[in-house]
Every structure is written in structure tokens, then in C-alpha cells.
């Protein structure tokens, strides 16, 4: 494998597609790259929803977007990439399309994962084994393979003042200013990753009954029905947030004392902005996809025979969520309080 001449790297392209959460986890590399290549510019090739999520990360110079299914658009994209004269391309997605884009990029250094049928595209490689790394750490493992120091472990997510004002106005108008606010996020990319609304409400209610907190249900496109169902099982003072963009939702997360969430993009956003996050897991593995960082907690029934099935639809009765008890939730919530030194008062305590 060749060695990177670090003084010769001024323009870097990072390729990361698909889920917003996955793309947010890739931001762990940005400060490491800027440290190793001072004065360099970092561009991102991603897809439209993820561009929106990273729009306010000031360390990203510009974005390129991949349009799926259009060969003409892909050809134009490759031409644009070649025009930009990148010195280093980091393909963290490494599927057949991104491998092809990397191969034709014209970059002197082309890095990706050594998957069968795609090695031709790269002259630098990340680790072969993915399953031993958390998804965030897999990115820094590639940097380490390339001889790039990967000491920074920080995820990046930016929120504009306008987005902060949107969330703060809702909180002020509903009398929540100065209260300990717990965000409830029923989002989930697969149906199997969504805790049923009644169970989610039951777990949230256990927290509300013990601690003096306010709660807001935060939802995105496709989550409104679940959010409304959750509200039906909760007291009147648990609020349903207004419709939000992903960045406005992030602004709400930033104003929360803690967040309870399913395994989802919003879960990763909450963790990225530094809000302690208690995540509910079923078909996926928190060791690989959990909320990143020491502030957070996860709940998963590891002894369940079908746990970690990775199925997008549950063929059973979602025992991985429905068998979680209020006691388990309280235990994890109290752990988050302790490790983050949160002074949330206990009711009648």
C-alpha cells in the first residue's frame, strides 16, 4: 500500500451515502483530517437528506449529491469530481457505484474498504473486518490504516440560530422554560426498530412518574401516526412537537436535558449534539450502531433468542421491545443522570 505525502494533500473528498445517522457518524473524521492536512478543504459526496443534516457543519467546504438511478447524472458527477482535482478521496461507502466514482476521480490517493470486486478502485484500504467496530470507529480505523492520526472522537452537527429560535419559541410559549425537558423520539428507519407506541409511552411514563420532568414528543416525516398514538397513552402535559425539519428537531434535542429514542437517525443526532441519549434497541446491535459517546445508555434484551435478528419487519410480536420493563428504563435513566451529573429532582423526593 502506498504512503500518503501529507504535504501534497489540499483537496479531500469524503464519500458517504444512505442514512442520515450513518452520515453523521462519518463526521468523526473531519477534525482528524484538518489536523493532519492543515489548510485543506473537505467536500462531501452524499445524498440530499444527509446534505440537509450536515448543512451547518462549518468544517465542510461544499457538497456534491448523488442522484440514484440516473447514469447521465452519474457521468456528470464524475466529470465534476475530476474538474475539482481532489488529492485524496475517502470512500466510506464502497459500493459498486462509489467505487467506480472513486476510480475515475483522478485523485492521487483513493481509499476504500477492500470488498470483493471493488479493490480495483483504490490504492489505499480500510480494515477488512467491519463487524468488530462501532460504525463511527470504523471511519477512524480507516484513517489509522492510512497513517492518519485519529485521536479526535467528536461527531459534528450544526444548528442555525433560526432553528434554535424556532425550538425555543415553542418551549417558551408552552411554559417549559427552565424545566428539565425529556425528548421522546419514536423515529426508526425500519418498522422493526420502532418500539410500539403504547410500550414507548409506558416506559416514558415510568420516568415521568418518578422524576420532575416535562416531555416533548419529537417526530419527523413518517412518524406522525406513532407520535399521536404515543400521546394518547400519556398525560395531557406531555406535548406533541410541531412539524419540524431534521435540523429543527436537532434544535429541540439541544434544548433537552435527555432524549429517549429508538435506533434511528435522530438518535445519532441527539448524541452528536451532546444530549444524553437513552436508546431502545431490538433487531440491531448497539455495540455497532448505538448512540456514540460516553454520555449515553442503551436498553436491549440480550438474552432474547431472536435479538439482533437484523430483520426489517418483525415476524413475531416485537418481544425485544414489549418485554422491556419500567424498571429497566428507570435503571438506565438513573445511570444517565449519574454519569452526566444531571440534577433532575425526584418527585416527592
Same domain, 240 and 332: yes
| Domain count for the chain | 2
118 and 177 share one domain: no
Rounded Cα–Cα distance for residues 333 and 321 (Å): 16
DSSP H or E run through 346: none
Question: Is 349 a member of any domain?
Answer: no
Can you give the pLDDT at residue 33? 98
- Model pLDDT for residues 130-171, shown as the tens digit of each residue: 788 999 999 999 999 999 999 999 999 999 999 999 999 999
Are residues 51 and 167 both part of a single domain? Answer: no
Both 138 and 225 in a single domain? no
292: domain CATH number?
Answer: 3.40.50.2000
| Domain ranges, residue 263 | 162-339
User: Are residue 66 and residue 171 in the same domain, yes or no?
Assistant: no
Total-model pTM: 0.94
| Pairing verdict, β 258-262 and 181-185 | parallel
Q: What is the pLDDT of residue 349?
A: 56
In this structure, the answer to whether residues 101 and 21 fall within a common structural domain is: yes
* Residue 104 shares a structural domain with residue 187: no
Q: What is the pLDDT of residues 173-224, one digit of tens each?
A: 999 999 999 999 999 989 999 999 999 999 999 999 999 999 999 998 889 9
Ramachandran category for residue 330: left, alpha or beta (phi over 0 → left; psi -120 to 50 → alpha) = alpha
Contacts 24+ apart (CB under 8 A), 237-241: 238/184, 238/204, 238/208, 238/214, 239/174, 239/176, 239/214, 239/215, 240/216, 241/170, 241/216, 241/217
Within a domain: 255: yes
Verify that 334 and 249 share a domain, yes or no.
yes
Q: Is residue 312 one of the residues assigned to a domain?
A: yes
Same domain for 309 and 177 = yes
- Residues 36-83 have pLDDT tens digits of 999 999 999 999 889 988 999 999 999 999 988 778 899 999 999 999
Same domain, 131 and 172: no
* Whether 95 and 208 share a structural domain: no
137 and 66 within one domain: yes
Amino acid at each position: 500500500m502506498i504512503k500518503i505525502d501529507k504535504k501534497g494533500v489540499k483537496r479531500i473528498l469524503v464519500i458517504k451515502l444512505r442514512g442520515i445517522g450513518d452520515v453523521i457518524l462519518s463526521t468523526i473524521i473531519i477534525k482528524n483530517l484538518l489536523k493532519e492536512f492543515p489548510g485543506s478543504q473537505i467536500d462531501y459526496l452524499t445524498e440530499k437528506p444527509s446534505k440537509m443534516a450536515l448543512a451547518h457543519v462549518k468544517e465542510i467546504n461544499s457538497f456534491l449529491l448523488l442522484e440514484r438511478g440516473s447514469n447521465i447524472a452519474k457521468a456528470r458527477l464524475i466529470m465534476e469530481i475530476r474538474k475539482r482535482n481532489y488529492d485524496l478521496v475517502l470512500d466510506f461507502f464502497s459500493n459498486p457505484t462509489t467505487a467506480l466514482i472513486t476510480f475515475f476521480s483522478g485523485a492521487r490517493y483513493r481509499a476504500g474498504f477492500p470488498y470483493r470486486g471493488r479493490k480495483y478502485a483504490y490504492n489505499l484500504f480500510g480494515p477488512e473486518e467491519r463487524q468488530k467496530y462501532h460504525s463511527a470507529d470504523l471511519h477512524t480505523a480507516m484513517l489509522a490504516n492510512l497513517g492518519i492520526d485519529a485521536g479526535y472522537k467528536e461527531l459534528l452537527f450544526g444548528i442555525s440560530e433560526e432553528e434554535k429560535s424556532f425550538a425555543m419559541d415553542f418551549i417558551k410559549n408552552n411554559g417549559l422554560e427552565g424545566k428539565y425537558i425529556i425528548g421522546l423520539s419514536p423515529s426508526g428507519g425500519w418498522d422493526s426498530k420502532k418500539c410500539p407506541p403504547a410500550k414507548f409511552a409506558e416506559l416514558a411514563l415510568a420516568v415521568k412518574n418518578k422524576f420532575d420532568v416535562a416531555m416533548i414528543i419529537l417526530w419527523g416525516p413518517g412518524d406522525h401516526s406513532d407520535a399521536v398514538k404515543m400521546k394518547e397513552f400519556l398525560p395531557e402535559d406531555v406535548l406533541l412537537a410541531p412539524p419540524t425539519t431534521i435540523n429543527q428537531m436537532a434544535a429541540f434535542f439541544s434544548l433537552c436535558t435527555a432524549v429517549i429514542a429508538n435506533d434511528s437517525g435522530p438518535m445519532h443526532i441527539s448524541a452528536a449534539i451532546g444530549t444524553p441519549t437513552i436508546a431502545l434497541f431490538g433487531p440491531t446491535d448497539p455495540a455497532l450502531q448505538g448512540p456514540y459517546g460516553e454520555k449515553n445508555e442503551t436498553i436491549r434484551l440480550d438474552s432474547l433468542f431472536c435479538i439482533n435478528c437484523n430483520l426489517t419487519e418483525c415476524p413475531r410480536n416485537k418481544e425485544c421491545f414489549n418485554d422491556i420493563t419500567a424498571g429497566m428504563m428507570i435503571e438506565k435513566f438513573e445511570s444517565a443522570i449519574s454519569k452526566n451529573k444531571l440534577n433532575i429532582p425526584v418527585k416527592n423526593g
